[in-house]
Structure 1
């Protein structure tokens, strides 16, 4: 081997080593990026779950209650309406004074009453309404604790923090410690989080109204966006002529998919509420706005699914005498349906997590009642998260994280359902 060819071989080997080294470094950069992504995702999920898990439990205090008719301001002959209007808040306060007879002074008594939730009086009211014979009797009743008292019982607030920096004062902690020593505290699953609407009190707030609002909004969104999006995709892909007009339509559809969601909210406010005078803060308007936002996604994914159908299927159908319409609806669409459904469900999942356009049409209102239809005032789960996140009370912090956990659960279910449908249709 000549000296020149030896040098060339060395140069080639050195070049190969550099290329292989670059390739290995690139692979490690990719692995590092994936690992960092998982680390940040784990930190985010851990933060949400750790903050939201306490919201799924409630604290109760065992209080001896004497159902004194004079305190409630009713009698055994009172009507149901009179029983409902009784002074059950006074009964709850009297029971707490009897539980801690050493507490004196107006200021200390007011602090004592804050151990119980405002929902305690409604618990007592429900008991008397269901069983009027309770009047004059005494019973041990588990009453709902206030969110601040519950935060101490859950270990979220400790004495290590200076008293002036926390809402749970030393007096509250002393009383709660006494109740714990006497086995007068209990932890229960927070069913109210799923069965009640919003409330000013954290321990009484729930997501039922937001869940119903989200359901009605998504129903309207699906009924409008899915058929219009699929038929638009079919027409553009199979029937529309190739000219400047269709090219312009395709460009605009792609551009609409990148428009910020709040712009659709402004459109809904200007057109559907101000011009057409549709009801404000209603799932009907929210569904229309979200359907406009979701349409480009459904059209684009549906067209991609239709394009992926093998030309041989079209040619075989046309070869046996099928018309263009029969070819599309009997052969092309069934084959493309897995991709169409996957894209549609992903678009619906995107709509479920949107809050900006719904804020613009007034779905940020404080809603306690569960909506019964698409025209009733309501809110949705992402907006409920926004409202709770803006509240200063500590109890709403855990409610915010818990609502995010529920929302993420729905998104995971919807994406899993999309994967299931795709696999099932592919098998067919």
Structure 2
């Protein structure tokens, strides 16, 4: 009895130790999950905190008298006169009418720094479109200067340095009370390309460039990846050559993306002489990078098709090609689509390979085709984040929010397609 009791105590003690280890392991797992979720929340909160103001623009609304004598302009349709005209003078006069006691030359210079650098272009474009507006008073909504925008949106944030003088800050406060300076949704962000001025910089060019690049990537990588997966899984003989190919495909999936950029620089640009900074070259590079992911995921989807499907098709006289085309590929397509979308989402967020092929260039115009100079969302964010202007900080964070929206949408689409199209056996 004593021996049996001792053995029972040993077993209970061992069970207690095992249960304690299991509880500790569960606690460690919960702590790890909590840390990961907390880090994710902190990351998103920081991005949103810095980027939400990027969707807001600061404007100055003025009634401007388009005096021909003040602007030295008699014919708005004459390009030579328009190039020599002074379109800033009526803006300063309108500001002087809003702010009393600003008549000295120094005050005028200070007032000039309240309005964005493209305000003169707004008046010039309006007169070019309608010359009859000359010598009339019109209401204009100008973009405020970048420093005014920083002051209006971040005056209480010590991490943003206000570069306006005390006099200018008093003027801005007064104009805000009078309703001359206000904020609204930043439609410029989605309607223009890049600019040297944060208030006039937009992300439309980068979005169009990303879409064109992703289209080239999809057209090349998707059919080639599926064809390669089908061949390797269904038709390729099992020999050393096939094993060598499979090993290299798995290795290519783990190669750093910048290596593909070097490959694109050496082959597509150096050897074939293709132009830099165009969506075609970017799409080719990203297609090479995405191919291994699509092939691996497609092979896994093909393997998940039950052998009974193949046997049943062959049993009624179907050829090997008919079995693959009519049965295996349609049943494996949900997994193929899921892997392809995830690979495309990964390619959408890549920056390093595109930097090497010149898509880091400063692009103002929105690209019209696959051979026009373009940039992409990640590169645009990189350019803004590396700028010293404070206005570009919030634009970079806003761009990150837009990029994350695209990537989350693509991943959600992959999950929906998998749930919608998958078959249970």
TM-score (norm 2): 0.95
Structure 1 range deviating more: 6-15 or 109-118: 109-118
Question: For residues 18 and 302 of structure 1, do their structure 2 counterparts lie closer, same or farther at Cα, with a shift above 3 Å needed?
Answer: same
Aligned length: 423
Kindly indicate whether residue 388 of structure 2 is the aligned counterpart of residue 389 of structure 1.
Answer: no
Does the 8 Å CA contact 1:83/1:128 hold for their aligned counterparts?
Answer: no
What's the offset of the Cα at 1:136?
Answer: 1.3
Kindly indicate whether residue 131 of structure 2 is the aligned counterpart of residue 132 of structure 1.
Answer: yes
Does the 8 Å CA contact 2:76/2:128 hold for their aligned counterparts?
Answer: no
- Aligned partners of 1:9 and 1:50: how far apart in 2? 60
Could you say what the CA RMSD is over the residues aligned between the two structures, in angstroms? 1.9
Question: For residues 270 and 161 of structure 1, do their structure 2 counterparts lie closer, same or farther at Cα, with a shift above 3 Å needed?
Answer: closer
Kindly indicate whether residue 341 of structure 2 is the aligned counterpart of residue 342 of structure 1.
Answer: no
Matches within 5 A, 1:394-409: 394-409=390-405
Report what 1:217 is aligned to: 213
- Aligned partners of 2:274 and 2:118: how far apart in 1? 36
- Aligned partners of 2:73 and 2:294: how far apart in 1? 61
Report what 1:376 is aligned to: 372
What's the offset of the Cα at 1:418?
Answer: 1.2
- Aligned partners of 2:227 and 2:146: how far apart in 1? 52
- Aligned partners of 1:161 and 1:26: how far apart in 2? 42
Question: Gapped runs of 5+ residues in structure 2?
Answer: none
Does the 8 Å CA contact 1:346/1:415 hold for their aligned counterparts?
Answer: yes
What's the offset of the Cα at 1:62?
Answer: 2.5
Report what 2:122 is aligned to: 123
Question: Gapped runs of 5+ residues in structure 1?
Answer: none
Once the two structures are superposed, what CA deviation does each residue of 1:312-364 show, in whole Å capped at 9, x if it has no partner? 00000111111000100100000000000000000000000000000000000
- Aligned partners of 1:159 and 1:112: how far apart in 2? 24
Report what 2:88 is aligned to: 89
Does the 8 Å CA contact 2:70/2:89 hold for their aligned counterparts?
Answer: yes
Question: For residues 13 and 351 of structure 1, do their structure 2 counterparts lie closer, same or farther at Cα, with a shift above 3 Å needed?
Answer: same
Report what 1:151 is aligned to: 150
Report what 2:53 is aligned to: 54
Question: For residues 317 and 161 of structure 1, do their structure 2 counterparts lie closer, same or farther at Cα, with a shift above 3 Å needed?
Answer: closer
Matches within 5 A, 1:408-423: 408-423=404-419
- Aligned partners of 2:414 and 2:167: how far apart in 1? 54
What's the offset of the Cα at 1:262?
Answer: 0.5
TM-score (norm 1): 0.94
Report what 1:426 is aligned to: 422
SS in 1 for 2:422: helix
Kindly indicate whether residue 322 of structure 2 is the aligned counterpart of residue 323 of structure 1.
Answer: no
Report what 1:18 is aligned to: 17
Question: For residues 396 and 88 of structure 1, do their structure 2 counterparts lie closer, same or farther at Cα, with a shift above 3 Å needed?
Answer: same
Match of 2:254 among 255, 258, 264: 258
Report what 1:200 is aligned to: 196
